[in-house]
């Protein structure tokens, strides 16, 4: 059994990596909205926070009624209860990665969680 899984994604509107990678602690999706398109629903979560990484293009996220401008290189964290909806700008596509994890579950990270091999 291998200790890693590798997949490649196409430029599909949405690719969820949970099943493709066999993820056990997070959900990751890769999303592409054409110019002027938006996610057709507002949503929040029961327990999971989301981290959005804007890869290219520009657009907006409406979060709890606030309009947040988005552009390549932006990172946005939204608490589980935050109501959110994403839209690409009229003149630009919007591509982003969304990482969903249980809020408050991180116990150690980076060097604290590393086992350094000699």
Boundaries of every domain in the chain: 27-103
Phi–psi pair at 102, nearest 5 degrees: -65, 125
List the Cα angle 15/47/7 in 5-degree steps: 20
Residue 30, C-beta contacts closer than 8 angstroms, at least 6 positions apart? 9, 12, 14, 15, 17, 95, 96, 97
pTM of the model: 0.92
| pLDDT exceeds cutoff 90 at 5 | yes
Task: Dump pLDDT digits (tens) for 53-105.
Answer: 999 999 999 999 999 999 999 999 999 999 999 999 999 999 999 999 999 99
CA distance 86 to 5: 29
Look at residue 118 in the predicted model and tell me its pLDDT.
86
Instruction: Return the higher-pLDDT residue of 28 and 9.
Output: 28
- Select from 2.40.50.220, 3.30.360.10, 3.40.50.720, 2.60.120.10 the CATH code of 27-103: 2.60.120.10
Q: Count of CB atoms within 10 A of residue 66's CB?
A: 9
């Amino acid at each position: 059994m291998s200790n890693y899984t590798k997949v490649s994604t196409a430029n599909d509107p949405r690719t969820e990596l949970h099943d493709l990678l066999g993820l056990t602690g997070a959900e990751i999706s890769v999303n592409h909205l054409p110019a002027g398109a938006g996610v057709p629903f507002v949503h929040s979560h029961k327990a999971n926070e989301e981290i959005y990484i804007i890869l290219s293009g520009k657009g907006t996220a409406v979060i709890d009624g606030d309009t947040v401008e988005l552009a390549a290189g932006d990172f946005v964290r939204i608490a589980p209860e935050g109501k959110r909806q994403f839209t690409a700008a009229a003149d630009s596509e919007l591509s982003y990665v969304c990482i969903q994890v249980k809020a408050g579950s991180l116990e150690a990270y980076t060097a604290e969680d590393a086992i350094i091999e000699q």
